[in-house]
Amino acid sequence: MSDATYYLTTPLYYVNAPPHLGHAYTTIIADCLARYHRLRGDPVFFLTGTDEHGQKIQQAAAAAGKTPQAFANALVPTFQALWETLTIRPDYFIRTTDATHTAGVQEALRVLQARGAIRKDTYEGWYCTPCETFWPSLTVPPGAAPTCPECHRPVERIQEENYFFPLEPHRRWLVNHIRQDDEFIRPVSRRNEVLAFLEQPLQDLCISRPTARLSWGIPLPSPPFEPGYVTYVWFDALLNYVTAVGYPAVDGRWPAKLHLIGKDILRPHAVYWPIMLHALGLPLPTTIAAHGWWLVGGEKMSKSKGNIVDPQAVVAEYGVDAYRYFLLREVPFGQDGTFSKAAMEKRYTSDLANDLGNLLYRTLTMIEKYCGGVVPNTQPRRGIALPAYEEPEEDFLPGLGTGVHLSKAFGAYDFQFALTIIWTCINQGNAWIDQKKPWVLAKGDEVATQELARVLARLSEFLRALAVWLWPFIPTTSEQMWGQLGCPGKIEDVRWNQAWAPGASAGQRIQKGSPLFPRREPTAR
Ligand code: MSP
């Protein structure tokens, strides 16, 4: 446990459409980390929210015949409802239209202007609305329409006066910081990508739009700026990470420990944002960690590509924890993954129903059958002369050291590996039952009965530890396990290093319920 708050953030999602699998993925990872740190006893502040300004939203609202604010107000609850469905528990949900955020952004603009960090200039170039990004120059093959280098969609030609934030003066400083601090950008492939990008001089960042072209943003405070400008998207939204903790008077939660993002928004987070903080005189976050994309049919899942998989529908079919488990298990952090129902079905049946579900079900069934539903106390009974009884050396003790290995995996954002470790233990547990054959022991002599009691006690303790280790990943299932094992209190009050607690389960009355992952009828595909 440490005193410093574990402050972690997700991106603020655009409210031009309801959330999809991509948004769910980042937020599930954040929730998993938040829960893990809570179990460690760290104070946690988990921030998510919505990015509501910009042309994209103004256009989507116009198409729907609504004002941008009314349009955003209608979409925000779809995000909040999804986090609820997915058992994601943020500590705070920020909206870039919040009055406190607006005031904080305006203050940051005043500070930068006073420090001489902003200049006015005429801009001429191309603009990509889906990416909300300017491209000063593009190579356009003769006869072809100019397209965005990032998303390959059409761009528009634009010329206007705007305010700019020069990045180049900070480039050397940023390169040094990234080189000196291995933790700053994760994984290392992304760190190298940013360092390569920083080999070239940086263009000034355009931070305003004339109200005539875009009205849906935060007004630049006038004075010191000329009237008739708004700031929006990157400059506005990135600042949420500090306005959420009190900027201009940031409290002890800043700097954040982790900005979790998708690789699509690495540059704004790993280049613009650190430079903005540096120019404002604020300390940098510890880590920016970028995950890969979920692809469907080889393409990034996105609204504009029309290949959205609705999380609510998948959860309705497979359950929330199967969804969380699949996303955290299937793909190594940082790499792209492909979503398919066939792959989900496989994980559901083999990992969740067969391995985990069975381990709990068989154990509880045996405790019911052989021990009257009470977890046996494995201490030798006094007054009865039994032959010397010693635990075999090769015995089943997956609890020892597992928590430590899991912590290392969390530290490396390696959720897939963490789950692989846990499932190795689960498989050992099932194999141990097959090897010990409690049903044979149950028919044996006094020594066999004592061995049976010990096996079932060990399994209960192991399942108790599993419930704790799994809580960050699949909290509803963990809580069901906890309840069925008859464990007292709440998992979240147990500390990570007390997950494996030999003897803790002795005497508990189990409450066997329905299987954790009921068999599914094969679906038509
Ligand atoms: N509003 C900006 C972020 C501002 S942060 C200060 C934005 N919003 S977004 O709605 O487009 O969300 C982008 C994020 O959603 C990605 O970084 C990632 O976290 C998630 N994903 C969106 N589509 C995704 C996939 N297909 N796959 C994985 N995650 C993706 O950018």
Contact 145, 153 (CB under 8 A): no
Q: Report the sign of the C-alpha dihedral through residues 138, 144, 146, 150, in that order.
A: negative
* DSSP labels, 249-298: S--TTPSPSEEEEEGGGHHIIIIIHHHHHHHHT-PPPSEEEEE--EEETT
Query: Ligand 1 within 6 A of 268 CB?
Result: no
Q: Take residue 158 and report the two structure tokens written for it.
A: 């634009």
Rounded Cα gap, residues 14 and 23, in angstroms: 10
Would you call 423 exposed, middle or buried from its count of C-beta atoms within 10 A (0-12, 13-18, 19+)? middle
The predicted pLDDT at position 98 comes to 98
**Separation in Å, CA 115 to CA 112, 224, 280:** 5, 12, 9
128 lines ligand 1 (CB under 6 A): no
Q: Which CATH number applies to 341-498: 3.40.720.10, 3.10.310.10, 1.10.10.10, 1.10.730.10? A: 1.10.730.10
Q: How far is residue 240 from each of residues 48, 134, 163, 215, measured CA to CA in Å?
A: 10, 22, 20, 20
**Is the CB–ligand 1 distance for residue 273 below 6 Å?**
no
Query: Taking Cα atoms as reference points, which of 361, 312, 447, 455 lies closest to residue 24?
Result: 312
Among protein residues, the one whose CA lies closest to atom 15 of ligand 1: 23
One-letter amino acid at 414 equals: D
pLDDT at 56: 87
| CB-ligand 1 contact for 24 (6 Å cutoff) | no
Tell me if 294 CB under 6 Å of ligand 1: yes
Distance, in Å, from the CA atom of 451 to the CA atom of 458, rounded to the nearest integer, reads 10
Q: Is 404 exposed, middle or buried (0-12, 13-18, 19+ CB in 10 A)?
A: exposed
Rounded Cα–Cα distance for residues 418 and 49 (Å): 28
**C-beta pairs of 487-491 under 8 Å, 24+ apart in sequence:** 491/39, 491/467
Atom 25 in ligand 1: residue holding the nearest Cα: 22
Is the CB of residue 51 below 6 angstroms from any atom belonging to ligand 1? yes
Contacts of 345 (CB under 8 A, 6+ apart): 520, 523
- Which among 70, 81, 67 has a CA at the least distance from the CA of 19? 81
Task: Answer for the pair 469, 492: CB distance below 8 angstroms, yes or no.
Answer: no
Alpha-carbon separation of residue 402 from 276, 284, 324, 326, 510 (angstroms): 41, 33, 21, 21, 25
How many C-beta atoms surround the C-beta of residue 383 within 10 A?
5
Query: Over the Cα atoms of the chain, what is R_g?
Result: 27
Residues belonging to the chain: 525
Mutation test of ligand 1: which of 9, 10, 12, 13 has the most ligand atoms closer than 8 Å to its C-beta?
13
- pLDDT at site 87: 98
The reply to whether ligand 1 has any atom less than 6 angstroms from the CB of 290 is no
In sequence order, the 6+-apart residues with CB closer than 8 A to the CB of 501 are: 461, 464, 465
Give the integer Cα–Cα distance in Å for 42 and 492.
Answer: 12
Does ligand 1 lie within 6 Å of residue 293's CB atom? yes
- Nearest C-alpha neighbor of 500 from the set 456, 469, 471: 469
Distance CA 52, CA 48 (A): 13
Terminal CA-to-CA distance of the chain, rounded, Å?
A: 48
Burial (CB count <10 Å: 0-12, 13-18, 19+), residue 84: exposed
SS3 state of residue 87 = coil
The bridge status of strand 287-291 relative to strand 229-231 is: unpaired
CB 80 within 8 A of CB 23: no
Domain locations along the chain: 341-498
137 burial via Cβ count (<10 Å: 0-12, 13-18, 19+): exposed
Per-residue pLDDT of the chain (525 residues; tens, 9 = 90+): 456 899 999 999 999 999 999 999 999 999 999 999 999 999 999 999 999 999 889 999 999 999 999 999 999 999 999 999 999 999 999 999 999 999 999 999 999 999 999 999 988 888 888 877 778 788 888 888 899 888 888 999 888 899 999 999 999 999 999 999 999 999 999 999 999 999 999 999 999 999 988 889 999 999 999 999 999 879 999 999 999 999 999 999 999 999 999 999 999 999 999 999 999 999 999 999 999 999 987 888 777 777 888 899 999 999 999 999 999 999 999 999 999 889 999 999 999 999 999 999 999 999 999 999 999 987 544 444 444 455 555 566 666 689 999 999 999 999 999 999 999 999 999 999 999 999 999 999 988 998 999 999 999 999 999 999 999 999 999 999 999 999 999 999 999 999 988 888 899 999 999 999 998 876 544
What is the predicted pLDDT for the residue at 524?
A: 47
CA of 103 to the centre of ligand 1 (A): 25
Q: Is 11 helix (H, G, I), strand (E, B) or coil?
A: strand
- On whether the CB atoms of residues 375 and 486 are closer than 8 A, the answer is yes
Dist. CA 22 → ligand 1 center (Å): 7
320 touches ligand 1 (CB under 6 Å): no
Q: pTM to 2 decimals? A: 0.93
What residues contact 132, with CB distance under 8 A and at least 6 apart? 54, 55, 56, 232, 233, 234
* 299 Cα: distance to centroid of ligand 1 (angstroms): 15
Identify the pLDDT of residue 381. Answer: 42
Q: What share of the chain is helix, strand, coil (3-state, %, to 5)?
A: 45, 15, 40
